[in-house]
Amino acid sequence: MIKNSNKTHDLRVALVTGGSGGIGHAIVKELADNGFAVAVHYSSNKLKADTIVNEIVKKGGKAISVGGDVADEKCMQEAFDMVEERFGGIDVVINTAGIMILSSIAEANLADLDKMYRTNIWGTFVISKQAARRVRQGGAIINFSTSVTRTKLSKYALYVASKAAVESMTMILARELRGKDITVNTVAPGPTATPLFLDGKDKQTIDNFSKATPLERLGTPEDIADTVLYLATSGRWINGQVIFSNGGLA
């Protein structure tokens, strides 16, 4: 059951960018299990997105897949159009799409910097622009950052700079939507066991991250999905905030 007492429509609809990825997939599943119709966005892996959609539909849920580059305004406008045409509107937009390339500042490849900024900053702006125009009253916009904006780990400077921009956009958009009863927040996960996080890390590095939190484990995509579900439903008094879902990481 959807827990949002401020619900204004019989069918609540969510668009999840990066919905075929690790955290995105967990969020899609959590929303579908709680009665949302879900649009599963993918960048290149249409097969995986369609598989997720088929799983939801087989369980009696409502879902579609939508594809495209989040930084392409025309493409994302068409994606939002598709969701509205299929389900009648959009209540929640969750922007998990992002890439992470690690490098020291001294050795940074500026081509990698451009690639990451295109998705993480430009893409967030494009999605936020469409969401600000289309999300229905009582809805929510949820962006994604990282807890490394606070922990300041070496080799994360380029990635953190892109996510700090996301946090700033989020806080400003929350104020720009004054009077529309739409919340805008950012979730900043700590170390979470996803392909994006695990890629290129040896066992010792992963073990060190696991021990860094008081809970002495990595987060799971489901941990992050729980936070997102709360913000998308009953967390109506949380607005313009960065929520650190990181198990107590300092």
Q: What is the pLDDT of residues 77-129, one digit of tens each?
A: 999 999 999 999 999 999 999 999 999 999 999 999 999 999 999 999 999 99
- Report the alpha-carbon distance of residue 66 to residue 63 in Å, rounded: 10
Count of helices and strands (H, E) across the chain: 10, 7
Element (H or E) spanning 58, and its range? helix 46-58
Q: Which residues of 35-44 are buried (b: 16+ CB within 10 A; e: fewer)?
A: bbbbbbbbbe
The whole-model pTM stands at 0.93
> Which listed residue (42, 156, 159, 230) is catalytic?
159
Task: Flag the least confident range among 81-95, 132-146, 190-204.
Answer: 190-204
- Residue whose tokens read 């600000």: 132
Of all residues in the chain, what percent are helix, strand and coil, respectively (each to 5)? 45, 20, 35
Q: Which residues of 51-62 are buried (b: 16+ CB within 10 A; e: fewer)?
A: ebbeebeeeebb
**According to the 3-state scheme, what is the secondary structure of 199-225?**
CCCCHHHHHHHHHCCCCCCCECHHHHH
- Report the alpha-carbon distance of residue 180 to residue 193 in Å, rounded: 36
**Within 96-137, where are the H helices?**
110-117, 123-134
The closest alpha carbon to 215, from 250, 248, 245, belongs to: 248
- Assess whether 159 carries a catalytic annotation: yes
Structural domains in the chain plus CATH codes: 13-194+221-244 (3.40.50.720)
The closest alpha carbon to 59, from 22, 32, 21, belongs to: 32
The predicted-structure confidence for 63-76, as pLDDT tens digits, reads as follows 999 999 999 999 99
